[in-house]
Amino acid sequence: MNNDLVKLSQATDYAARQHIAQRRKGERAEPYINHLTEVAAMLAEATEGADLVLVIGGLLHDTVEDTDTRPEELAQRFGREVADLVQEVTDDKSLPKDVRKRLQVETTPHKSVRAKLLKLADKTSNLRGLMTSPPAGWTRERLRDYVVWAEQVVRSCRGLNPRLEAQFDAAYDTARRHFSV
Protein backbone atom coordinates (compact mmCIF):
# COMPACT_ATOMS: atom_id res chain seq x y z
CA MET A 1 0.00 0.00 0.00
CA ASN A 2 1.27 3.47 -0.88
CA ASN A 3 0.96 5.38 2.38
CA ASP A 4 1.83 8.68 0.67
CA LEU A 5 -1.11 8.30 -1.67
CA VAL A 6 -3.38 7.49 1.27
CA LYS A 7 -2.17 10.58 3.17
CA LEU A 8 -2.64 12.77 0.11
CA SER A 9 -6.16 11.42 -0.45
CA GLN A 10 -7.03 11.98 3.20
CA ALA A 11 -5.76 15.57 3.06
CA THR A 12 -7.75 16.26 -0.10
CA ASP A 13 -10.89 14.85 1.48
CA TYR A 14 -10.30 16.81 4.69
CA ALA A 15 -9.72 20.09 2.81
CA ALA A 16 -12.86 19.57 0.73
CA ARG A 17 -14.97 18.88 3.81
CA GLN A 18 -13.56 21.79 5.81
CA HIS A 19 -14.15 24.25 2.96
CA ILE A 20 -17.40 22.65 1.73
CA ALA A 21 -19.54 25.79 1.94
CA GLN A 22 -16.84 28.22 0.82
CA ARG A 23 -16.61 29.78 -2.61
CA ARG A 24 -13.93 31.87 -4.26
CA LYS A 25 -14.62 35.60 -4.26
CA GLY A 26 -14.74 35.73 -8.05
CA GLU A 27 -17.82 36.33 -10.17
CA ARG A 28 -17.93 32.60 -11.04
CA ALA A 29 -17.98 31.71 -7.29
CA GLU A 30 -15.99 28.53 -7.88
CA PRO A 31 -15.80 26.00 -5.04
CA TYR A 32 -12.88 26.98 -2.81
CA ILE A 33 -11.38 23.50 -3.11
CA ASN A 34 -10.45 24.39 -6.71
CA HIS A 35 -7.93 26.91 -5.37
CA LEU A 36 -6.49 24.43 -2.88
CA THR A 37 -6.05 21.65 -5.42
CA GLU A 38 -4.47 24.08 -7.90
CA VAL A 39 -1.93 25.17 -5.27
CA ALA A 40 -1.20 21.55 -4.32
CA ALA A 41 -0.82 20.52 -7.97
CA MET A 42 1.62 23.37 -8.64
CA LEU A 43 3.69 22.33 -5.62
CA ALA A 44 3.65 18.66 -6.60
CA GLU A 45 4.76 19.46 -10.14
CA ALA A 46 7.41 21.96 -9.05
CA THR A 47 8.98 19.44 -6.64
CA GLU A 48 8.42 16.48 -8.97
CA GLY A 49 6.36 14.85 -6.26
CA ALA A 50 9.31 14.76 -3.85
CA ASP A 51 7.78 16.71 -0.95
CA LEU A 52 4.57 15.23 0.38
CA VAL A 53 4.51 17.59 3.38
CA LEU A 54 4.58 20.60 1.05
CA VAL A 55 1.81 19.24 -1.19
CA ILE A 56 -0.42 18.40 1.77
CA GLY A 57 0.39 21.84 3.19
CA GLY A 58 -0.82 23.31 -0.08
CA LEU A 59 -4.12 21.50 0.26
CA LEU A 60 -4.56 22.56 3.87
CA HIS A 61 -2.93 26.00 3.86
CA ASP A 62 -6.16 27.91 4.51
CA THR A 63 -7.86 25.53 6.94
CA VAL A 64 -6.70 27.21 10.15
CA GLU A 65 -7.25 30.69 8.74
CA ASP A 66 -10.65 30.13 7.14
CA THR A 67 -12.33 27.27 9.04
CA ASP A 68 -12.69 26.10 12.61
CA THR A 69 -9.67 23.78 12.23
CA ARG A 70 -7.09 24.04 14.99
CA PRO A 71 -3.36 23.46 14.40
CA GLU A 72 -3.44 20.61 16.94
CA GLU A 73 -6.02 18.82 14.82
CA LEU A 74 -3.81 19.10 11.74
CA ALA A 75 -0.84 17.78 13.72
CA GLN A 76 -2.85 14.80 14.92
CA ARG A 77 -4.23 13.98 11.47
CA PHE A 78 -1.32 14.89 9.20
CA GLY A 79 1.76 15.28 11.38
CA ARG A 80 3.60 18.10 13.08
CA GLU A 81 5.49 19.15 9.92
CA VAL A 82 2.26 19.77 8.02
CA ALA A 83 0.68 21.59 10.96
CA ASP A 84 3.75 23.79 11.41
CA LEU A 85 3.83 24.66 7.70
CA VAL A 86 0.14 25.58 7.68
CA GLN A 87 0.61 27.66 10.82
CA GLU A 88 3.61 29.41 9.24
CA VAL A 89 1.49 30.68 6.34
CA THR A 90 -1.64 31.43 8.37
CA ASP A 91 -2.63 35.06 8.85
CA ASP A 92 -3.87 36.24 12.23
CA LYS A 93 -7.48 37.09 11.40
CA SER A 94 -7.82 39.13 14.59
CA LEU A 95 -5.67 41.80 12.93
CA PRO A 96 -7.05 44.34 10.44
CA LYS A 97 -6.67 43.36 6.78
CA ASP A 98 -4.15 46.12 6.01
CA VAL A 99 -1.94 44.96 8.90
CA ARG A 100 -2.15 41.32 7.75
CA LYS A 101 -1.15 42.34 4.25
CA ARG A 102 1.77 44.42 5.50
CA LEU A 103 2.92 41.57 7.74
CA GLN A 104 2.93 39.14 4.82
CA VAL A 105 5.36 41.40 2.97
CA GLU A 106 7.53 41.90 6.06
CA THR A 107 7.60 38.31 7.37
CA THR A 108 7.85 36.26 4.18
CA PRO A 109 11.63 36.81 3.83
CA HIS A 110 12.09 35.05 7.18
CA LYS A 111 9.92 32.03 6.44
CA SER A 112 11.06 28.49 5.66
CA VAL A 113 11.71 27.35 2.10
CA ARG A 114 8.50 25.33 2.12
CA ALA A 115 6.46 28.34 3.28
CA LYS A 116 7.98 30.49 0.55
CA LEU A 117 7.19 27.90 -2.13
CA LEU A 118 3.64 27.69 -0.82
CA LYS A 119 3.37 31.50 -0.95
CA LEU A 120 4.52 31.47 -4.58
CA ALA A 121 1.93 28.88 -5.57
CA ASP A 122 -0.83 30.55 -3.55
CA LYS A 123 -0.23 34.00 -5.03
CA THR A 124 0.02 32.52 -8.53
CA SER A 125 -3.34 30.82 -8.11
CA ASN A 126 -4.86 34.01 -6.75
CA LEU A 127 -3.57 36.11 -9.66
CA ARG A 128 -4.92 33.56 -12.13
CA GLY A 129 -8.26 33.76 -10.33
CA LEU A 130 -8.31 37.54 -10.63
CA MET A 131 -7.94 37.17 -14.38
CA THR A 132 -10.52 34.44 -14.97
CA SER A 133 -13.07 35.55 -12.40
CA PRO A 134 -12.42 38.88 -10.69
CA PRO A 135 -14.16 39.34 -7.35
CA ALA A 136 -17.54 40.99 -7.70
CA GLY A 137 -17.47 44.55 -6.50
CA TRP A 138 -13.70 44.99 -6.65
CA THR A 139 -12.72 48.24 -8.30
CA ARG A 140 -9.97 48.37 -10.88
CA GLU A 141 -7.83 50.13 -8.26
CA ARG A 142 -8.33 47.31 -5.75
CA LEU A 143 -7.43 44.74 -8.41
CA ARG A 144 -4.26 46.71 -9.27
CA ASP A 145 -3.36 46.98 -5.58
CA TYR A 146 -3.69 43.22 -5.17
CA VAL A 147 -1.41 42.57 -8.14
CA VAL A 148 1.25 44.92 -6.75
CA TRP A 149 0.95 43.44 -3.26
CA ALA A 150 1.20 39.85 -4.52
CA GLU A 151 4.49 40.69 -6.23
CA GLN A 152 5.80 42.32 -3.05
CA VAL A 153 4.99 39.20 -1.04
CA VAL A 154 6.74 36.81 -3.40
CA ARG A 155 9.75 39.04 -4.05
CA SER A 156 11.61 37.31 -1.21
CA CYS A 157 10.67 33.86 -2.54
CA ARG A 158 12.99 34.11 -5.53
CA GLY A 159 15.81 31.69 -6.24
CA LEU A 160 14.08 28.64 -4.79
CA ASN A 161 12.16 27.07 -7.67
CA PRO A 162 12.40 28.28 -11.27
CA ARG A 163 9.21 26.49 -12.30
CA LEU A 164 7.06 28.17 -9.63
CA GLU A 165 8.71 31.52 -10.31
CA ALA A 166 7.98 31.23 -14.03
CA GLN A 167 4.33 30.42 -13.30
CA PHE A 168 4.06 33.39 -10.95
CA ASP A 169 5.82 35.69 -13.43
CA ALA A 170 3.45 34.66 -16.22
CA ALA A 171 0.40 35.27 -14.03
CA TYR A 172 1.83 38.55 -12.72
CA ASP A 173 2.71 39.84 -16.20
CA THR A 174 -0.75 39.02 -17.51
CA ALA A 175 -2.46 40.65 -14.53
CA ARG A 176 -0.12 43.65 -14.63
CA ARG A 177 -0.91 44.31 -18.28
CA HIS A 178 -4.62 43.65 -17.86
CA PHE A 179 -5.03 45.97 -14.88
CA SER A 180 -2.50 48.57 -16.10
CA VAL A 181 -0.13 48.23 -13.15
pLDDT tens digits, 7-23: 999 999 999 999 999 99
Active-site residue, 88 included: no
pLDDT in tens, 119-163: 999 999 999 999 999 998 999 999 999 999 999 999 999 999 999
Domain 3-178 has CATH 1.10.3210.10: yes
* Catalytic hit among 45, 51, 66, 73: 66
Question: Could you confirm whether 65 is annotated as catalytic?
Answer: yes
pTM listed for this prediction: 0.96
Kindly indicate the confidence band of residue 176, based on its pLDDT and cuts at 50, 70 and 90.
Answer: very high
Q: Cβ contacts of residue 63 below 8 Å, gap of 6+?
A: 14, 15, 18, 19, 69, 74, 86
Domain positions in the chain: 3-178
Q: Among 45, 51, 65, 169, which one carries the catalytic annotation?
A: 65
